[in-house]
Amino acid sequence: MQSQQSLSIHLKSPSGDTLRIENVLFEVTFFTHGTVRYRFFIGSTDSMGILRASYDDIERIRRRNAEQFIMDYNTPLEECDDLIEVAAPSESALRRIAENVTKIFGASPDWSLKWPANCKVTVWPSKISLGNGLTVVPMTAELVTGM
Protein backbone atom coordinates (compact mmCIF):
# COMPACT_ATOMS: atom_id res chain seq x y z
CA MET A 1 0.00 0.00 0.00
CA GLN A 2 1.36 3.37 -0.98
CA SER A 3 0.89 6.70 0.80
CA GLN A 4 -1.58 8.03 -1.80
CA GLN A 5 -3.83 4.97 -1.65
CA SER A 6 -7.01 4.62 0.38
CA LEU A 7 -10.05 2.34 0.64
CA SER A 8 -13.77 2.98 0.70
CA ILE A 9 -15.61 -0.20 1.67
CA HIS A 10 -19.35 -0.30 0.87
CA LEU A 11 -21.82 -2.91 2.12
CA LYS A 12 -24.00 -4.14 -0.76
CA SER A 13 -26.79 -6.68 -0.97
CA PRO A 14 -26.41 -9.54 -3.48
CA SER A 15 -28.63 -7.51 -5.86
CA GLY A 16 -26.32 -4.49 -5.51
CA ASP A 17 -28.45 -2.36 -3.19
CA THR A 18 -26.69 -0.36 -0.48
CA LEU A 19 -26.93 -1.89 2.99
CA ARG A 20 -26.93 0.91 5.55
CA ILE A 21 -25.68 -1.06 8.53
CA GLU A 22 -23.55 0.74 11.07
CA ASN A 23 -20.66 -0.74 13.06
CA VAL A 24 -19.73 -3.74 10.90
CA LEU A 25 -16.06 -4.37 11.69
CA PHE A 26 -13.69 -5.06 8.79
CA GLU A 27 -10.23 -6.49 8.54
CA VAL A 28 -7.73 -6.21 5.72
CA THR A 29 -5.08 -8.78 4.90
CA PHE A 30 -1.85 -7.61 3.27
CA PHE A 31 0.50 -9.90 1.37
CA THR A 32 4.16 -9.78 0.38
CA HIS A 33 5.01 -11.87 -2.68
CA GLY A 34 1.66 -13.64 -2.27
CA THR A 35 2.24 -14.65 1.36
CA VAL A 36 0.14 -13.24 4.21
CA ARG A 37 2.10 -10.46 5.93
CA TYR A 38 -0.42 -8.50 8.02
CA ARG A 39 -4.04 -8.76 9.05
CA PHE A 40 -5.52 -5.65 10.66
CA PHE A 41 -8.93 -4.64 11.94
CA ILE A 42 -9.21 -1.29 10.18
CA GLY A 43 -12.50 0.00 11.54
CA SER A 44 -16.27 -0.18 11.27
CA THR A 45 -18.91 1.06 8.87
CA ASP A 46 -20.73 4.33 9.42
CA SER A 47 -24.52 4.79 9.32
CA MET A 48 -24.39 4.61 5.50
CA GLY A 49 -22.69 1.19 5.56
CA ILE A 50 -19.36 2.67 4.44
CA LEU A 51 -15.87 2.44 5.93
CA ARG A 52 -13.10 4.70 4.72
CA ALA A 53 -9.47 3.94 5.55
CA SER A 54 -6.44 5.81 4.29
CA TYR A 55 -2.83 4.73 4.14
CA ASP A 56 -2.19 6.90 7.20
CA ASP A 57 -5.00 5.17 9.14
CA ILE A 58 -3.61 1.72 8.42
CA GLU A 59 0.02 2.78 8.94
CA ARG A 60 -0.95 4.04 12.43
CA ILE A 61 -2.30 0.56 13.23
CA ARG A 62 0.89 -1.09 11.95
CA ARG A 63 3.09 1.25 14.00
CA ARG A 64 1.00 0.75 17.15
CA ASN A 65 1.37 -3.03 16.74
CA ALA A 66 5.11 -2.63 16.12
CA GLU A 67 5.50 -0.97 19.53
CA GLN A 68 4.77 -4.35 21.14
CA PHE A 69 5.89 -6.75 18.41
CA ILE A 70 8.70 -5.03 16.52
CA MET A 71 9.86 -8.09 14.56
CA ASP A 72 6.32 -9.00 13.47
CA TYR A 73 5.50 -5.53 12.17
CA ASN A 74 8.78 -4.36 10.64
CA THR A 75 7.77 -4.52 6.96
CA PRO A 76 6.60 -1.12 5.65
CA LEU A 77 3.17 -1.12 3.98
CA GLU A 78 4.90 0.10 0.81
CA GLU A 79 6.61 -3.30 0.50
CA CYS A 80 3.28 -5.16 0.54
CA ASP A 81 1.57 -6.31 -2.65
CA ASP A 82 -1.21 -4.25 -4.24
CA LEU A 83 -3.51 -7.28 -3.91
CA ILE A 84 -5.31 -7.27 -0.54
CA GLU A 85 -8.18 -9.20 1.01
CA VAL A 86 -11.07 -7.44 2.73
CA ALA A 87 -13.33 -9.37 5.13
CA ALA A 88 -15.81 -8.92 7.96
CA PRO A 89 -15.29 -11.65 10.55
CA SER A 90 -18.29 -13.63 11.75
CA GLU A 91 -19.79 -13.10 15.19
CA SER A 92 -18.28 -16.36 16.44
CA ALA A 93 -14.82 -15.41 15.11
CA LEU A 94 -15.04 -12.03 16.85
CA ARG A 95 -15.98 -13.68 20.13
CA ARG A 96 -13.00 -16.08 19.89
CA ILE A 97 -10.62 -13.23 19.04
CA ALA A 98 -11.88 -11.04 21.89
CA GLU A 99 -11.58 -13.97 24.32
CA ASN A 100 -8.00 -14.72 23.24
CA VAL A 101 -6.92 -11.07 23.38
CA THR A 102 -8.40 -10.72 26.86
CA LYS A 103 -6.57 -13.86 28.06
CA ILE A 104 -3.23 -12.75 26.61
CA PHE A 105 -3.32 -9.03 27.45
CA GLY A 106 -5.71 -8.93 30.40
CA ALA A 107 -7.94 -6.39 28.65
CA SER A 108 -10.58 -6.45 25.95
CA PRO A 109 -9.61 -5.20 22.47
CA ASP A 110 -10.60 -1.60 21.73
CA TRP A 111 -12.99 -2.61 18.96
CA SER A 112 -15.02 -4.73 21.39
CA LEU A 113 -15.96 -1.81 23.66
CA LYS A 114 -18.84 -1.07 21.27
CA TRP A 115 -19.59 -4.60 20.09
CA PRO A 116 -19.59 -4.85 16.27
CA ALA A 117 -22.80 -5.48 14.32
CA ASN A 118 -21.23 -8.33 12.33
CA CYS A 119 -23.97 -10.63 13.65
CA LYS A 120 -26.44 -8.78 11.38
CA VAL A 121 -24.76 -9.75 8.11
CA THR A 122 -22.77 -12.45 6.40
CA VAL A 123 -20.11 -10.77 4.26
CA TRP A 124 -18.18 -12.56 1.53
CA PRO A 125 -14.44 -11.84 1.62
CA SER A 126 -13.05 -10.10 -1.44
CA LYS A 127 -9.56 -9.90 -2.91
CA ILE A 128 -8.94 -6.65 -4.74
CA SER A 129 -6.01 -4.76 -6.22
CA LEU A 130 -5.38 -1.32 -4.85
CA GLY A 131 -5.38 1.37 -7.49
CA ASN A 132 -3.90 4.85 -7.39
CA GLY A 133 -5.85 7.12 -5.07
CA LEU A 134 -9.17 5.81 -3.77
CA THR A 135 -10.18 2.18 -4.32
CA VAL A 136 -13.90 1.56 -3.83
CA VAL A 137 -14.59 -1.94 -2.53
CA PRO A 138 -18.20 -3.17 -2.82
CA MET A 139 -18.62 -5.94 -0.24
CA THR A 140 -21.48 -8.31 -0.90
CA ALA A 141 -23.37 -9.00 2.30
CA GLU A 142 -26.53 -10.86 3.13
CA LEU A 143 -28.74 -9.95 6.06
CA VAL A 144 -28.88 -12.61 8.74
CA THR A 145 -32.47 -13.78 9.13
CA GLY A 146 -34.15 -12.83 12.36
CA MET A 147 -32.27 -9.54 12.68
Mean pLDDT of the chain: 93
What pLDDT is stored for residue 65 in this prediction? Answer: 87
Q: 89 near 141, Cβ under 8 Å?
A: no
- CA–CA separation, 91 vs 103, rounded Å? 18
Sequence-ordered list of residues with C-beta below 8 angstroms from that of 146, at least 6 positions apart, any chain: none
Q: Is the pLDDT of residue 7 over 60?
A: yes
Q: What pLDDT score was predicted for residue 68?
A: 83
pLDDT the model gives residue 71: 79
Question: How do 35-44 and 121-123 pair as beta strands?
Answer: unpaired
Please name the residues in contact with 40: beta carbons below 8 A apart, sequence gap of 6 or more. 27, 28, 30, 58, 61, 62, 65
Domain boundaries defined on the chain = 6-90+116-143
* Edge-first strand listing for the sheet containing 35-44: 35-44, 25-32, 83-87, 126-129
| The architecture CATH gives domain 6-90+116-143 | Sandwich (2.60)
pLDDT tens digit sequence for 75-134: 999 999 999 999 999 999 999 999 999 998 899 898 998 999 999 999 999 999 999 999
